[in-house]
Amino acid sequence: MHPSRRTVLGAGALVGPALLTSTGAVGSGAAVAAAPDSRRTAATRPFPTSPFTLGIASGDPAPDGFVIWTRLALEPLADDGLGGVPSRRYDVVWELAEAESFRRVARRGTVSAGPETAHAVHVELTGLRPGREYWFRFRVGRHVSGVGRGVTAPAPGSLPASMTVAFASCSNYPAGFFTAYRHLADERPDLVLHLGDYQYEGPANAANLRPHAGPETTTLAGYRQRLAQYKTDPDLQAAHAAAPWLVVWDDHEVDNNYAAEVSEKPAEQRQFVDRRVAAYRAYYENMPLRRTSVPSGPGMQLFRRISWGQLATFHMLDTRQYRSDQANGDGFKPRGGGYDDPARSLPGHFQEDWLLDGFADSTARWDVLGQQVFFGGRQNAEAAVPTVSMDAWDGYPASRQRITQGWVDAGVRNPVVLTGDVHAHWGSDLFLDYADPTTPVGSEFVTTSITSGGDGYDDPDGAHPWADDNPNLTFWTNLRGYVSTTITPQAMTVDYRCLPRVTTPGAEVFTRRSYVVEDRVRGMQQTADAPLVTTAARRALPSDEQVVADTIREETGY
Ligand code: FE
Ligand code: CA
């Protein structure tokens, strides 16, 4: 039984057993379910304006429920990170319905929001029916939040006919409008995977299109303020309201290119563990995560598995918190510095073992790795001495080999890797040996950024200059967007969704290229191709040298 701060059963039909849990506080102690809360509340002091300025969210679906989230703020950009909410407790009522109209409330409960979480609340709903939609909202006094759509996972033994999954990464607020999130919301997928760089840590810069508030984020107040600023974005709010999310972070939620407890810049190392603690705490507060992810000491449990019946298992990895430090500097560097030492690991050895156990135990039709950094091999053979990304799996080849061999040895039926981080759409088939790319053992789909890198450009052939020397690379375009997939027992279809521009609002979305992976068939097969050729949106493709320079710049810094 989970600890419960306060549980109130509402009127209306109860769907399943009345097991409701909620928590409002990091490290809150266990209490008996439905125990009265003796603390004073602020029910008699209503908010003058709506405190639901940061939207709502749901996440981490199970067959019997999901997490719902909100955070109260009146002035989201307040410097102290507390959103202009008085430093006291508020009762937040949540409501669940079986229809979007909300004509009948199926369940209702109350959770207490306090300053210790910057007035964020997480409610873990249980006892719901598998494989269906629900609708939720919050109330404080007379103020009502927007309505969110939650989805429960199908029953464990079932084989659903289909599911839709969209995945995204790298939403840098100053770089452009979050139009891609709006289009993703309009698709109403069953599940959204956010693969990291949900926020960026850089300081306010008045020259930016949409400047950050505050200095570079290093403190709890700073991270809370930054996340609040992002959460005010209406397109991001729409994407959260549209579907449950599975979130994993990359580096910018804390500090560019950090590794475990090693900061990017040596000069910032002394305070780095404190900085990471602050960042992880604010991340938990602002994401629809389960209680298992409440930060503890300097760490936070983020890697986890979510199953969609027998159709798909999502292995969500954390490739930042436990990684060995980059071997030879953080950027594109010649192979060296002991980069291939088998003692080194990108996910950390215990997370590798957890993943290998997951492959061995899997009975899913599709095993999907949701993770941060480029998995397949890519070398820049145009440098005098070929270079690879020391921050990606190329910088940790022994770790990559153990995982790839692991799914091959376990006989995983359909392994697929989903990736973010690099601010461009890529496709790569996966091999045991990238020097001998003849027989693929899986496929990797890499999503571009929501905004990072700005408007970008499109190559009519969808081919990066590196594809000549890296035959595993199937596709590349430097436009912004996200990836939409449909998974059935027979196939996974993948649409690379693109926007012609993000520096002006309201751009349309189009499918740049499509692939299918068929059940038990290794390798992706192209099914559609639509380059950006309209004269209004087309931009000149730079020289190969400039494309490579842009690629390395985007992957090394912001
Ligand atoms: Fe990024
Ligand atoms: Ca990154």
pLDDT at 534: 60
447 CA to middle of ligand 2, Å?
Answer: 12
Q: No. of H helices and E strands in the chain?
A: 7, 25
How far is the centre of ligand 1, averaged over its atoms, from the C-alpha of 529 (Å)? 26
Question: Domains of the chain: which residue ranges?
Answer: 5-12+154-556
pLDDT at 22: 40
Q: SS3 letters for 135-168? A: EEEEEECCEECCCEEEECCCCCCCCCCCEEEEEE
Q: Distance from the CA of 197 to the center of ligand 2, in angstroms? A: 6
Contacts of 267 (CB under 8 A, 6+ apart): none
For 517, the 3-state DSSP assignment is strand
b (16+ CB within 10 A) / e for 489-527:
eebbbbbbbbbbbbeeeebebbebbbbbbeeeebbbeee
Per-residue pLDDT in tens (0 to 9) along the chain, 558 residues = 343 333 333 333 333 333 333 433 333 333 333 334 444 454 446 899 999 999 999 999 999 999 999 999 999 999 999 999 999 999 999 999 999 999 999 999 999 999 999 999 999 999 999 999 999 999 999 999 999 999 999 999 999 999 999 999 999 999 999 999 999 999 999 999 999 999 999 999 999 999 999 999 999 999 999 999 999 999 999 999 999 999 999 999 999 999 999 999 998 999 999 999 999 999 999 999 999 999 998 999 999 999 999 999 999 999 999 999 999 888 999 999 999 999 999 999 999 999 999 999 999 999 999 999 999 999 999 899 999 999 999 999 999 999 999 999 999 999 999 999 999 999 999 999 999 999 999 999 999 999 999 999 999 999 999 999 999 999 999 999 999 999 999 999 999 999 999 999 999 999 999 999 999 999 999 999 999 876 556 778 899 999 999 999 999 986
| DSSP run (H or E) holding 409 | helix 397-409
Ligand 1 center from residue 422 Cα (angstroms): 6
Residue 141 tokens read as 């006094």
- Which ligand is nearest the CA of 389, by number? 2
Burial bucket for residue 199 (CB in 10 Å: 0-12, 13-18, 19+):
buried
Distance 425 CA to ligand 1 centre (A): 12
- Separation of CA 550 and ligand 1 centre (Å): 14
In DSSP terms, 153 is beta-bridged to none
**Angle in degrees, 0-180, between the axes of helices 234-242 and 220-231, rounded to the nearest 10:** 80
pLDDT of the residue at 532: 84
Cα–Cα nearest to 20, from 124, 104, 133, 132: 124
Helix (H) or strand (E) holding 91: strand 90-97
Task: Give the list of residues 6+ apart from residue 38 with CB closer than 8 angstroms, or none.
Answer: none
E-only strand ranges, 420-490: 425-430, 442-446, 473-477, 480-487
Q: In which element (H, E) is residue 316 found?
A: strand 312-316
pLDDT value at position 540? 84
Which ligand neighbours the alpha carbon of 170 most closely?
1
Please provide residue 94's backbone torsions phi and psi, each rounded to the nearest 5 degrees. Answer: -115, 150
- Ligand 1 centre distance from Cα of residue 421 (Å): 5
Q: How far is the CA of 154 from the centre of ligand 2 (A)?
A: 32
* Cα 49 to middle of ligand 1, angstroms: 35
Return the residue matching tokens 């710049």: 553
- Which pLDDT score is estimated for 536? 59
Q: 4 CA distance to ligand 1 centroid (A)?
A: 37
CB 198 within 8 A of CB 260: no
| Residue matched to tokens 């990291």 | 196
Residue of 359, 345, 446 whose CA lies nearest to 401: 345
Quote the pLDDT of residue 505.
97
CATH architecture of 5-12+154-556: 4-Layer Sandwich (3.60)
**Distance in Å, CA 368 to ligand 1 centroid:** 21
Ligand lying closest to the C-alpha of residue 258:
2
Among the bound ligands, the one closest to the CA of 451: 1
Confidence (pLDDT) at 513 = 98
Query: Which numbered ligand comes closest to the C-alpha of 257?
Result: 2
Residue 509 alpha carbon to ligand 1 centre in Å = 21
Cα–Cα dist 371/362, whole Å: 18
In contact, 387 and 333? CB cutoff 8 Å = yes
> From the CA of 452, which ligand is nearest?
1
Q: Which residues surround ligand 2, an ion (CB under 5 A)?
A: 197, 250-251, 421
Phi-psi region of 257 (alpha: psi -120 to 50; beta: other; left: phi over 0): left
Going from the Cα of 202 to the center of ligand 2, the distance in angstroms, rounded, reads 13
pTM of the model: 0.92
Number of residues that this document lists for the chain: 558
